[in-house]
């Protein structure tokens, strides 16, 4: 999965969505496999739980929770209320394993799978660990603990979710005004057709945008710390790979950094992020960051009519100082926590490389090159083979041409 970002008006990008419904996680004890009767009873409890979520039936959901677990019941009542307006298309629990702890206690290893109706072609998944106990008098099993595997939370754990539907977008926000969410939806609606014009393959043609209350809440959705995302306007989450059934991406906005941008900067950010959504199935572990981020910037700036110096001011300053980069940006150059100027130049260098391919070989070759790199079995040799087969060049010759391109367009 990717999670790559940008400072200011051009820093954004890719990768992760985690847990759901309660606290932090730890491994379940392994006291032995549960008997089949226990597994069937636990599965029935989870099925009732899932049906209650889809029916927005709080009472039925809480009926699967231990009546004596006061804090858990209060938290889950609150979360279901926060989730009420989210248009769920499906919500299921896949039971991986049940571990017995005596005759009346069990721990279930569960994969939550859910889809947003009209937006998710495949489910988003989240690993959970549920603790259960049997009430012999009632003849049923109750949930007494529900925790995520990992540190991330879901948006509805952070507060009541407001929902705004755009023409090509669904914006889900917590602690944000309807006016703000509607403005983001309008920008996302403009981004989607721009991406479709830049990317030749069919894709979903819609995007889900999450707008948390603060950068700290944004980091919480990503299972990280706020320091990693200060100044990062937005990121895209999702699973890379070429199966065509990748889980739906979420564009997550940092309301503080995004709010400091003007209309143009906000449009660039959301178009960049939406490009990651469109190209997700063609992006893999073989794809270097300069290509995935450079292509997203190329698609975002493509219809804007800006000069190279306007798009890449950091590199333009470096060229003016006689500090021409020796090579294409490395993955490490894109680190969120590094030098902001270095990060900006990395994005600009990736954009310049994609602009060079589109200008020198043509846009169709740029698309073919992106697909060829992402389709390689691994990182080793991916760029070299694609450059040879698609562009008829070598990495060494391409780098020399790229440096000349920077000197010519930015000097």
pLDDT of residue 240: 54
Rounded CA-CA distance 250/211 in Å is 10
Topology of the domain comprising 36-150: Nuclear Transport Factor 2; Chain: A, (3.10.450)
pLDDT digits (tens, 9 = 90+) for 307-366: 999 999 999 999 999 999 999 999 999 986 668 899 999 999 999 999 999 999 999 999
Q: 254 pLDDT exceeds 70?
A: yes
Helix (H, G, I), strand (E, B) or coil at 409: helix
Per-residue confidence (pLDDT) for residue 11, from 0 to 100? 39
Q: For position 20, what pLDDT does the model report? A: 27
Q: pLDDT value at position 338?
A: 66
Q: C-alpha angle 301/304/306, rounded to 5°? A: 85
What is residue 57's predicted lDDT score, i.e. its pLDDT?
A: 96
- 248 band by pLDDT with thresholds 50, 70 and 90: low
Q: What is the pLDDT of residue 406?
A: 97
Question: Which pLDDT belongs to residue 107?
Answer: 96
In this prediction, residue 247 has a pLDDT band, given cuts at 50, 70 and 90, of low
Mean pLDDT of 86-114: 94
pLDDT of residue 239: 56
Cα 114-115-118 angle, rounded to 5 deg? 165
What pLDDT is attached to residue 365?
A: 98
pLDDT (mean) for 299-308: 96
Query: Which pLDDT does position 399 carry in this prediction?
Result: 98
**pLDDT band for position 4 (cuts 50, 70, 90):** very low
pLDDT above 70 covers a percentage of the chain that reads 88
Name the residue among 253, 77, 59, 90 with its Cα closest to residue 174.
Answer: 253
- 3-state SS, residue 61: helix
Q: Where does residue 4 rank: exposed (0-12), middle (13-18), buried (19+ CB within 10 A)?
A: buried
As assigned by CATH, the class of the 1-18+151-282 domain is: alpha beta
Query: Going by DSSP bridges, is the β-strand pair 12-14/234-237 parallel, antiparallel, or unpaired?
Result: parallel
Mean pLDDT across the chain: 89
Integer Cα distance of 201 and 364 in angstroms:
11
pLDDT band at 153 (very low <50, low <70, confident <90, very high): confident
Q: CA angle at residue 74 from 70 to 79, to 5 degrees? A: 150
Does pLDDT of 168 surpass 80?
yes
Q: What pLDDT does residue 230 have?
A: 85
Task: Give the domain ranges of the chain.
Answer: 1-18+151-282, 36-150, 284-411
Whether residue 17 is predicted with pLDDT greater than 60 in this model: the reply is no
For Cα atoms 80, 83, 85, give the angle at the middle one, nearest 5 degrees.
Answer: 130
Helix (H/G/I), strand (E/B), else coil: 210:
strand
pLDDT bracket for residue 244 (50, 70, 90): very low
> Residue 348: what pLDDT?
98
Q: What is the pLDDT of residue 32?
A: 65
Burial (CB < 10 A; 0-12, 13-18, 19+), residue 340, is middle
State pTM to two decimals: 0.86
Distance from C-alpha of 31 to C-alpha of 101, rounded to nearest angstrom: 6
Question: pLDDT category, 19, cuts 50, 70, 90?
Answer: very low
Which residue is associated with the tokens 């470096």?
A: 318
Most confident listed range (9-13, 233-237, 241-245): 233-237
DSSP string of 206-241, one letter each residue: -EEEEE-SSHHHHHHHTTS-GGGTTTB-EEEE----
The torsion defined by the Cα of 169, 157, 113 and 215, in degrees rounded to 10, comes to: 50
Instruction: Place 149 in a pLDDT band, splitting at 50, 70 and 90.
Output: confident
Query: For residue 223, what pLDDT band results from cuts at 50, 70 and 90?
Result: confident
- Mean pLDDT on 99-109: 92
pLDDT(1) > 80: no
Answer yes or no: is pLDDT of 167 > 80: yes
pLDDT of the residue at 358: 98
Share of the chain above pLDDT 90, in %: 77
Is 381 a residue whose pLDDT tops 50?
A: yes
């Amino acid at each position: 999965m990717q999670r790559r970002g940008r400072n200011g008006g051009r820093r954004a990008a890719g990768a992760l969505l985690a847990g759901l419904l309660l606290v932090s996680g730890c491994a379940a004890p392994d006291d032995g496999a549960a008997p089949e009767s226990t597994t069937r009873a636990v599965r029935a409890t989870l099925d009732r739980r899932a049906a209650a979520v889809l029916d927005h039936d709080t009472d039925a959901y809480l009926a699967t929770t231990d009546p004596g677990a006061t804090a858990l019941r209060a938290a889950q009542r609150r979360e279901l209320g926060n989730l009420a307006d989210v248009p769920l298309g499906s919500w299921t629990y896949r039971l991986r394993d049940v571990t017995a702890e005596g005759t009346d206690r069990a721990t279930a290893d569960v994969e939550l799978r859910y889809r947003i109706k009209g937006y998710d072609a495949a489910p988003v998944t989240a690993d959970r660990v549920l603790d259960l106990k049997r009430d012999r008098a009632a003849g049923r099993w109750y949930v007494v603990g529900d925790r995520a595997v990992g540190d991330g939370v879901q948006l509805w754990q952070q507060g009541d979710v407001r929902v705004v539907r755009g023409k090509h977008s669904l914006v889900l926000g917590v602690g944000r005004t309807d006016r703000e969410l509607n403005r983001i939806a309008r920008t996302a609606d403009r981004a989607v057709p721009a991406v479709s014009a830049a990317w030749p393959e069919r894709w979903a043609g819609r995007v889900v945008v999450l707008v948390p209350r603060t950068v700290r809440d944004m980091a919480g959705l990503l299972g990280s710390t706020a320091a990693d995302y200060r100044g990062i306007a937005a990121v895209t989450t999702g699973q890379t790979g070429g199966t065509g059934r990748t889980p739906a991406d979420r564009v997550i906005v940092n309301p503080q950094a995004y709010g400091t941008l003007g209309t143009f900067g906000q449009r660039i950010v959301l178009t960049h992020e939406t490009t990651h959504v469109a190209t997700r199935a063609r992006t893999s572990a073989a794809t270097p960051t300069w290509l995935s981020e450079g292509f997203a910037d190329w698609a975002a700036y493509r219809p804007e009519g800006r000069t190279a110096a306007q798009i890449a001011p950091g590199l333009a300053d470096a060229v003016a100082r006689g500090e021409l980069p020796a090579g294409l940006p490395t993955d490490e150059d894109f680190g969120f926590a590094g030098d902001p100027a270095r990060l900006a130049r990395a994005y600009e260098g990736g954009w310049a490389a994609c602009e060079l391919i589109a200008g020198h070989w043509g846009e169709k070759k740029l698309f073919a090159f992106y697909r060829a790199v992402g389709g390689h079995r691994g990182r080793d040799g991916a760029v070299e083979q694609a450059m040879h087969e698609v562009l008829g060049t070598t990495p060494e010759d391409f780098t020399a041409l790229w440096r000349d391109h920077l000197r010519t367009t930015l000097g």
